[in-house]
């Protein structure tokens, strides 16, 4: 066991209580009940703060320190460090102190909990997967999970992601403006952000806000030309002194010509002008997909690709329309936005699709959902497995 588990994975198991809890006891035989494992503490001092542990029926509040072996308490000098005086439980994989308690700097004995016999039986397999960076920790194991359970998990991903997009759009909403003006600015900021991709999103949002400076003063046949010129001048890409972004702030790496900042700025400008010609009433009275198709099919600028149009529809337009329906108490509008969201069918990048296939995910709608892409990017890649129901199932299996 000691050759298998590493401390970071041990933390993952402790944090999410992935071990057998009935009949836990300290090395001195005191009954242990974990009410709350505590909150991770990344600074100097104990690993977990504000834990709630019951020992022989008495409830204790304090810190918890984790080690692979009991002797590491001394090796790390915790017995001389006053920051560890609030530790109420020393949790280890293996007790090599032969049931002798460690002590704090004030001489207080600290009970030790050895978890070796309580850890999952399939720990070796999970550990090996957890530390193979080229593969997901659940690689090759998802196929053993019932398909209806996997489906329920991916459905929750979708629900979570829709709420995530609603919250994201709310960050763009200027509450000080009247509903009509505020809603338009919100969706415009979202579209600019979505056209900026990940690396240029912040710059694009800042540009979107500069359009308020024009205050509707740009009109006529050259409206688009003047708007594009204004945005490019503000972008710092043309060397003008009144730019609000510097050229160095833009990311040009791995950008195809169609994705270059200047091209995206032109698209954002025309979409913004077309959006400005609509009213919230138009969006309340017409299907959002139809409204978006009319706006995203550009007249004077090459339109964003079909995939990007779909991403903007689902990440920006539908959440914005849902919020508009909610604010105006039009439940039918909210339902229409949700139905459009449910029809989502956007192929994932090939690399991610291949990874899911190797992992053992069954075929299904999740392979065409932005929620899956979001989960992969923000949970799978950074190894936030403790927050994933797939890993929880595997640990408990």
Asked, for residue 43, whether it belongs to a domain, the answer is yes
User: Which secondary-structure segment (H or E) carries 67?
Assistant: strand 58-69
User: For the residues of 85-103, what is the DSSP string, one character each?
Assistant: TTEEEEEEEE--STTPPEE
Last residue of a domain, one of 77, 104, 119: 119
Asked, for residue 250, whether it belongs to a domain, the answer is yes
- Sort strands 48-55 and 32-36 into parallel, antiparallel or unpaired: antiparallel
233 and 106 inside one domain: no
Contacts of 284-289 spanning 24+ positions with Cβ under 8 A: 284/324, 284/325, 284/328, 284/330, 284/333, 287/336, 287/340, 288/313, 288/317, 288/318, 288/321, 288/336, 288/337, 288/340, 289/313, 289/340
205 and 295 inside one domain: yes
- pTM, 2 dp: 0.78
187 and 286 inside one domain: yes
> At 350, is the secondary structure helix, strand, or coil?
helix
Asked, for residue 141, whether it belongs to a domain, the answer is no
What does the pLDDT look like over 322-362, one tens digit per residue?
A: 999 999 999 999 999 999 999 999 998 888 888 888 888 88
Asked, for residue 67, whether it belongs to a domain, the answer is yes
193 and 266 inside one domain: yes
201 and 92 inside one domain: no
The tally of domains found in the chain comes to: 2
Asked, for residue 113, whether it belongs to a domain, the answer is yes
Question: Can you give the residue range of the structural domain that contains 200?
Answer: 177-314+333-339
72 and 187 inside one domain: no
Q: What is the mean pLDDT of the chain?
A: 90
pLDDT at 1: 47
Asked, for residue 367, whether it belongs to a domain, the answer is no
pLDDT at 167: 98
185 and 108 inside one domain: no
Last residue of a domain, one of 98, 119, 140: 119
Asked, for residue 309, whether it belongs to a domain, the answer is yes
pLDDT at 5: 66
pLDDT at 127: 67
Mean pLDDT in runs of 10 for the chain (397 residues)? 64 86 91 96 94 96 96 95 97 88 94 88 68 76 89 94 98 95 96 92 95 66 88 94 93 82 95 94 96 94 93 98 98 97 92 85 86 93 82 77
Asked, for residue 235, whether it belongs to a domain, the answer is yes
Query: Which residues are CB-neighbours of 7 under 8 A, at least 6 positions away?
Result: 66, 67, 68
198 and 298 inside one domain: yes
């Amino acid at each position: 066991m000691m050759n298998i588990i590493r401390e970071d994975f041990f933390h993952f198991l402790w944090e999410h209580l992935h071990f057998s809890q009935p009949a836990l006891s300290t090395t001195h035989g005191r009954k242990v009940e974990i009410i709350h494992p505590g909150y991770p503490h990344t600074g100097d001092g104990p690993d977990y703060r504000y834990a709630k542990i019951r020992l022989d029926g008495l409830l204790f509040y304090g810190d918890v320190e984790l080690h692979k072996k009991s002797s590491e308490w001394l090796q790390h000098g915790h017995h001389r460090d006053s920051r560890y005086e609030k530790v109420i439980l020393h949790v280890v994989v293996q007790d090599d102190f032969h049931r002798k308690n460690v002590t704090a700097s004030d001489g207080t004995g600290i009970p030790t909990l050895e978890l070796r016999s309580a850890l999952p039986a399939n720990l070796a397999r999970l550990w090996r997967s957890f530390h193979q960076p080229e593969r997901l920790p659940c690689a090759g194991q998802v196929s053993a999970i019932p398909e209806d359970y996997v489906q329920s998990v991916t459905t929750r991903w979708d629900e979570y992601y829709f709420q995530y997009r609603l919250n994201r759009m709310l960050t763009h909403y200027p509450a000080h403006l009247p509903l009509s003006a505020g809603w338009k600015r919100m969706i415009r900021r979202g579209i600019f952000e979505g056209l900026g991709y990940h690396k240029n999103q912040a710059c694009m949002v800042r540009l979107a806000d500069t359009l308020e400076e024009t205050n509707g003063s740009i009109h006529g046949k050259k409206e688009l030309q003047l708007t594009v010129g204004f945005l490019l001048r503000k972008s710092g890409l043309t060397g003008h002194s009144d730019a609000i972004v510097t050229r160095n702030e833009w990311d040009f790496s791995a950008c195809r010509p169609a994705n270059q900042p200047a091209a995206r700025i032109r698209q954002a400008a025309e979409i913004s002008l077309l959006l400005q010609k609509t009213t919230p009433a138009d969006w309340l009275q017409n299907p959002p997909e139809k409204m978006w198709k009319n706006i995203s099919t550009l007249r004077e600028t090459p339109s964003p690709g079909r995939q990007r149009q779909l991403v903007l529809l689902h990440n920006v337009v539908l959440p914005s329309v849902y919020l508009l329906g909610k604010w105006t108490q039009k439940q039918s509008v909210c339902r229409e936005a949700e139905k459009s969201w449910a029809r989502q069918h956007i192929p994932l990048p090939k690399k991610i699709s291949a990874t899911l296939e190797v992992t053992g995910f069954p075929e299904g709608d999740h392979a065409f959902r932005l929620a899956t892409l979001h989960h992969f990017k923000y949970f799978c890649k950074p190894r936030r497995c403790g927050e994933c129901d797939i890993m929880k199932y595997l640990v408990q299996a």
